[in-house]
Amino acid sequence: MPTEYYDVLIAGGSIAGLATARECSSNGTSTIVIEEDHEIGTPEHCGGMVSLGGLQKLGVLPDSNNFQNAISYARIFSKSTSFELNAEKQNVIVVDRRGLDKQIANQAEKAGAEIRAKCSFKSFSKNQDRYIVKTSEGEIECKYFVDAKGLSSLRDATKDGILASAQFEIYATWIEGQTVEIFFDSEKYPGFFVWIIPSGEGKGKIGVAGKGINTSLALNEFIKSRGKKYSIIRKIFAPIWIGGPRPSFIADRTLVVGDAAGQTKPTTAGGIFSCGMAGILAGKAISKAIEKNDDQLLHEYEKNWKSMFQKEFNSMLFARKVLERLDNKSIDEIFSSLSRKTIKDVSNFSDFDFHSSALDLFLKTKIATNLTKILIGNELRRIFSS
């Protein structure tokens, strides 16, 4: 049997890989996506929180099968205090990731891409101007290879920046209808937090991540601490990436997109928007390189992604470094120093897809004056407790 040939082979059929496939195939490029799992979108490793604006830019609006809830508020807790943001202006929604991924798969398929589930990437080698890709279903040749394998690729590159996470889907009376809740506790969840994302009809996705913690134990303890009846209908355990983007996304005619390139927000590990955009930009660059017969144009992908996100990710990496050092007393003090005006400004003017806008607003206010004092106190406590 002759070896199959496609211009573009994409390993990984999730948001980044499927967006790349849709973009390539809608420009007439022959494209195949291979996905090792038996079903696109499954198992789902995601809370599904995303902005409508972000989804619009990704060229996909959730249909009635995927839409789960709209978020109106975010309540953020430290150990002894809390504050609430009005999130209505951010147009944040909760989607069923399984359905969303299938919707993009459907768009890509309609545009001409072929999608092959239960087909794993094994290895690849180069033969003149083609790659020979070994898969669980035999060899496929291609001119361009896209690595969209998620964290399995990043883990090979570096372990720094990976946190274990757990997320349970539960029914509970204490899940707020349209309020996302975030709980910081630097002792229980160092460097991260517990989240509750309401997905409608009394259901929610409740998760935790943190450096060096047993996520299952931490999440069970948190859920029990709510003290009321609940039912767990699904449990997932998956790593998240908070280490920022890889220095380079392109080598030869191989492009790395999504989690595989470290393109998730270092503050929350959210990646639907930034990873999906990477897919679109990579697909555009490949199409242009083919059209103009100039592989230098592949670099437009990296240039365009970085001009959209790099500054934002640098700010978030900085915020993460600070968060990782803060003890509970400092987090309490920072939350207590937020004025009503600051909270209102952040509610009105920040952008869900670019968190540094909220950070900038916080830093322009009274908190900036207090912050130095709080951080000095924090560092002194670290010195005396070590």
Contact residues toward ligand FAD (CB under 6 A) are 11-17, 34-37, 45-50, 120-121, 148-152, 165, 167, 207, 238, 240, 258-260, 264, 269-272, 275
Burial pattern 98-114, b for ≥16 Cβ within 10 A else e, equals bbbbbbbbebbbebbbe
Nearest approach, Cβ of residue 253 and ligand FAD (Å) = 18
Nearest approach, Cβ of residue 166 and ligand FAD (Å) = 8
Nearest approach, Cβ of residue 386 and ligand FAD (Å) = 32
Tokens of 104: 């993009």
- Asked if 18 contacts 105 with a C-beta cutoff of 8 angstroms, the reply is yes
User: Which amino acid belongs to residue 21?
Assistant: A
Question: Bridge-partner residues for 42, per DSSP?
Answer: 39
Q: Which is nearer to ligand FAD, 23 or 333 (CB)?
A: 23
Nearest approach, Cβ of residue 296 and ligand FAD (Å) = 25
Q: Give the angle 32-249-157 at the CA atoms, nearest 5°.
A: 100
Q: Which is nearer to ligand FAD, 80 or 125 (CB)?
A: 125
- Asked if 98 contacts 110 with a C-beta cutoff of 8 angstroms, the reply is no
Q: Which is nearer to ligand FAD, 150 or 204 (CB)?
A: 150
* Widest Cα–Cα separation across the chain: 71
Q: Which is nearer to ligand FAD, 77 or 279 (CB)?
A: 279
Q: Which is nearer to ligand FAD, 28 or 43 (CB)?
A: 43
Nearest approach, Cβ of residue 368 and ligand FAD (Å) = 29
Rounded Cα–Cα distance for residues 101 and 5 (Å): 25
Nearest approach, Cβ of residue 281 and ligand FAD (Å) = 13
Q: Where are the beta strands (DSSP E) in 96-161?
A: 114-117, 121-127, 130-135, 138-147
Nearest approach, Cβ of residue 378 and ligand FAD (Å) = 29
Nearest approach, Cβ of residue 93 and ligand FAD (Å) = 10
- Asked if 279 contacts 13 with a C-beta cutoff of 8 angstroms, the reply is no
Residue 153 zone, left/alpha/beta (φ > 0; ψ -120 to 50; rest): alpha
Q: Which is nearer to ligand FAD, 78 or 274 (CB)?
A: 274
Q: Which is nearer to ligand FAD, 107 or 330 (CB)?
A: 107
Nearest residue to 162 via CA among 182, 195, 191, 120: 191
User: Which amino acid belongs to residue 118?
Assistant: K
Q: Which is nearer to ligand FAD, 16 or 286 (CB)?
A: 16
- Asked if 237 contacts 266 with a C-beta cutoff of 8 angstroms, the reply is no
Q: Which is nearer to ligand FAD, 240 or 334 (CB)?
A: 240
First CA to last CA distance, the chain: 67
Nearest approach, Cβ of residue 44 and ligand FAD (Å) = 8
Strand 250-251, strand 254-256: pairing? antiparallel
- Asked if 222 contacts 194 with a C-beta cutoff of 8 angstroms, the reply is yes
Rounded Cα–Cα distance for residues 154 and 241 (Å): 9
Nearest approach, Cβ of residue 320 and ligand FAD (Å) = 15
Q: Which is nearer to ligand FAD, 13 or 210 (CB)?
A: 13
Tokens of 50: 């995303």
Rounded Cα–Cα distance for residues 109 and 94 (Å): 25
